[in-house]
């Protein structure tokens, strides 16, 4: 894993202990360096206002209307905390770590997706071209062929037509799935990306583990502000409004309000599974000081996601190559069989 840019800053540790306006501006500048690109303009604007002498709370209130939805929720909750700039910097650092894995997953999916669509495109074009070039239906009406040859010619024509419809149908299905994914990504609510990708068999697990880690890390950031109990849970849920974890955080708040401990509430979440559930339940074994257990579980979830991504980087390309090879073989084999039959018929004429 690349080193966290903030961890290499010697000033960062000293910044956390003070709340003066210049140091708030420094924290915001550091947060903007590692925050998602869509957040950087707003964070730099906050830092500039703070550098000009404006109180951080007032600067946040003035710029809330121009912020992205997720950052707006985070800044609104930061105003409720004793050290808003510390919270913003902690959230930015966590998003940096989570974003690395999301980029890795996108890279893992990009190559197989492009390869699959290229194979389908080649199959569709070849299938259509061969249907136009090799039309063997006239053999079934030729008087000099036996009835068995005529039946074979008809069967070859039907097989090629079925092959063409199969490859076209598969291509349409893949394009439809791609359009659905793009629609959910750009038009649908923010939580749909995690809901759709997190539910897949192959890549869903590491994404769910990362989501759990982000929940725990932000909860730990709230606890570090001296807030605990239900107020911390409420801050956590409101800070995720407009993000991919908005639904999960609200459900978590409801379970905690109903009296469930944190580990059990997370272990019954849809993000949990049999592999990480025992680790989540370990949080409840340290009710007096949960931050240490939260840190250990967060590190474990990150290691699990990292190992799964490494495994996918090896297994997924091989799996996709097998699928692409099967598509191309199925496309070309029927037409090679038809070509063989055509050569047989031509040799019969001679």
Q: Where are the domains of the chain?
A: 13-67, 82-349
Binning pLDDT at 50, 70 and 90, where does residue 133 land?
A: low
Q: How far is CA 104 from CA 15, 228, 309, in A?
A: 31, 34, 8
Task: Name the token pair of 73.
Answer: 């929720």
From 200, 310, 220, 306, select the one nearest 262 (Cα to Cα).
220
Question: By the 8 A CB rule, do 211 and 271 touch?
Answer: yes
How far is it, in rounded angstroms, from Cα 86 to Cα 96? 15
CA 118 to chain centre: 23
The pLDDT tens digits of the residues spanning 300-336 come to 998 888 888 888 888 888 888 888 888 777 777 766 6
Q: Encode pLDDT of 144-196 as tens digits.
A: 444 544 555 555 555 666 676 777 777 787 788 778 777 777 776 767 777 77
Q: Per the confidence metrics, is the pTM higher than 0.75?
A: no
Distances (CA, A) of 74 to 86, 218, 241: 12, 10, 8
Take residue 45 and report the two structure tokens written for it: 């604007």
Residue listed under structure tokens 């791609």: 178
User: What DSSP string describes 283-304?
Assistant: GGG-SS-HHHHHHHHHHHHHHH
Task: Give the number of other CB atoms < 10 A from CB of residue 210.
Answer: 26
Q: Which of 13-22, 65-74, 95-104 has the highest mean pLDDT?
A: 65-74
What mean pLDDT is predicted for residues 119-137? 71
Is 157 or 102 the better-scoring residue by pLDDT?
102
Q: What is the mean pLDDT of the chain?
A: 78
Q: Nearest-CA neighbor of 24 among 89, 93, 95, 94?
A: 89
State the pLDDT at residue 160: 65
Q: Is the per-residue pLDDT at 9 higher than 70?
A: no
């Amino acid at each position: 894993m690349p080193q966290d840019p903030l961890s290499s800053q010697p000033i960062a540790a000293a910044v956390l202990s003070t709340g003066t306006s210049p140091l708030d501006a420094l924290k915001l500048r550091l947060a903007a360096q590692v925050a998602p690109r869509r957040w950087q303009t707003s964070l730099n604007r906050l830092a500039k206002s703070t550098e000009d002498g404006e109180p951080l709370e007032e600067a946040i209130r003035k710029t809330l209307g121009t912020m992205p939805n997720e950052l707006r929720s985070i800044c609104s909750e930061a105003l409720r905390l004793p050290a808003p700039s510390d919270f913003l910097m902690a959230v930015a650092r966590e998003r940096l770590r989570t974003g690395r894995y999301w980029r890795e997953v996108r890279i893992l999916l990009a190559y197989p997706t492009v390869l699959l669509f290229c194979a389908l495109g080649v199959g569709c074009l070849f299938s259509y071209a061969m249907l136009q070039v090799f039309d063997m239906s006239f053999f079934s009406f030729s008087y000099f062929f036996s009835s068995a040859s005529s039946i074979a010619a008809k069967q070859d024509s039907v097989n090629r037509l079925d092959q063409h419809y199969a490859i076209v149908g598969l291509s349409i299905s893949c394009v439809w799935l791609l359009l659905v994914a793009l629609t959910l990504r750009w038009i649908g609510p923010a939580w749909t990306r995690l809901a759709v990708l997190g539910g897949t068999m192959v890549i869903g697990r590491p994404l769910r583990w990362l989501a759990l880690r982000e929940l725990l890390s932000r909860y730990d950031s709230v606890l570090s502000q001296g807030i605990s109990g239900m107020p911390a849970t409420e801050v956590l849920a409101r800070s995720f409004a407009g993000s991919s974890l908005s639904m999960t955080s609200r459900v978590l708040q409801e379970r905690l309000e109903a009296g469930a401990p944190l580990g059990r509430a997370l272990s019954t979440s849809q993000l949990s599974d049999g592999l990480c559930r025992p680790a989540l339940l370990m949080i409840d074994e340290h009710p007096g000081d949960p931050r240490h257990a939260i840190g250990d579980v967060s590190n474990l979830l990150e290691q699990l996601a990292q190992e799964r991504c490494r495994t996918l980087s090896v297994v997924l390309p091989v799996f996709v190559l097998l699928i692409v090879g099967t598509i191309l073989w199925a496309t070309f084999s029927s037409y090679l069989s038809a070509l063989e039959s055509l050569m047989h018929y031509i040799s019969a004429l001679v």
